[in-house]
Every structure is written in C-alpha cells, then in structure tokens.
Amino acid sequence: MDFESLIKKMTRAAVQGNGSTVVDCFTVDGVYHDVFYGDFTGRNIARMIEDYFHRDGKNFRWDIFDPVEQRNKGYARYVFSYDSRLKNSQNKRAIFEGVAICTLSNGKISDYREIATATTGLALMGFPPPRFLNS
C-alpha cells in the first residue's frame, strides 16, 4: 500500500475508534509515539486508540495534507481536532496542527512519530499556561 493510502486508512480508523484497523497499518512490532500518551507497540496501539483517544475526546477530525514518501520514510502535514471529554474542558474544541513522520517497512508503518503545536490545542481547552510546559 502506498503511504498516502496507508496514512489516510490509519487516521480514518483512529477517528472512528477502530483500534484493530489502526494496528493493521503497523508492522507486528510497530511503535506509535503519541505526543500526549507516550509510546505504544504492536497490539497495544489499539488500546491507546480505544482506551485513551476516545476516553478523552469525541467528534474527532484528522485531515491529512501533502503526504510524501521517499525510500522508507513517509511524511504528512495534518490538522487534528476533537471535542474534549476532560473534566475541566468538557466539549471544548481542541485543534492541533502537526507533521507525521513514519518509517515504513513492506507497506506498513514500523515507527510513527509526530511534531505538533500542542500549546494551541491546550489553550483552546482552557489549560493554564504552566501546563504547556509539559507538552
């Protein structure tokens, strides 16, 4: 599968809360390095999607722009947003812009990393500035 199809399949499944389809986009020992929740490997990626993403947010949107693949690397800009379920941020819309950086192996993701503007999303959810230092 080409990178554009793969990254769009992965993000579409994440938005829908379909952890097993997200896992199918990764190699057996693939790692998802999430900017907020940390590192998840293999089948545990499904747990992150189902137990963390969808616990803390709803009404997800993850738009992918300008995906590029060269050799075993894939890059794509994205805008990711959701309505918060967190206690002090209920229903506030969080918006993050970032870049996905993927190492690819045999048509799957072996390593997913991201660089994101987390402070904007945290501010929109009403987090006080000292919390930004942890993002």
Give me the pLDDT at residue 125, please.
67
Number of domains in the chain: 1
For residue 23, count CB atoms less than 10 angstroms from its CB and return exposed for 0-12, middle for 13-18, buried for 19 or more: buried
Assign 131 to helix, strand or coil. Answer: helix
Residues near 16 by beta carbon (within 8 Å), at least 6 away in sequence: none
**CATH number, residue 49:** 3.10.450.50
SS3 20: helix
What is the reported pLDDT for 40?
A: 97
H-type alpha helices, the chain: 3-16, 19-24, 44-47, 54-56, 118-124, 129-132
Query: Over its length of 135 residues, how does the chain's per-residue pLDDT go in tens digits?
Result: 999 999 999 999 999 999 999 999 999 999 999 988 899 999 999 999 999 999 999 999 999 999 999 999 999 999 999 999 988 888 889 898 999 999 999 999 999 999 988 776 776 767 776 655 555
Q: What residue numbers bound the domain in which 72 lies?
A: 3-132
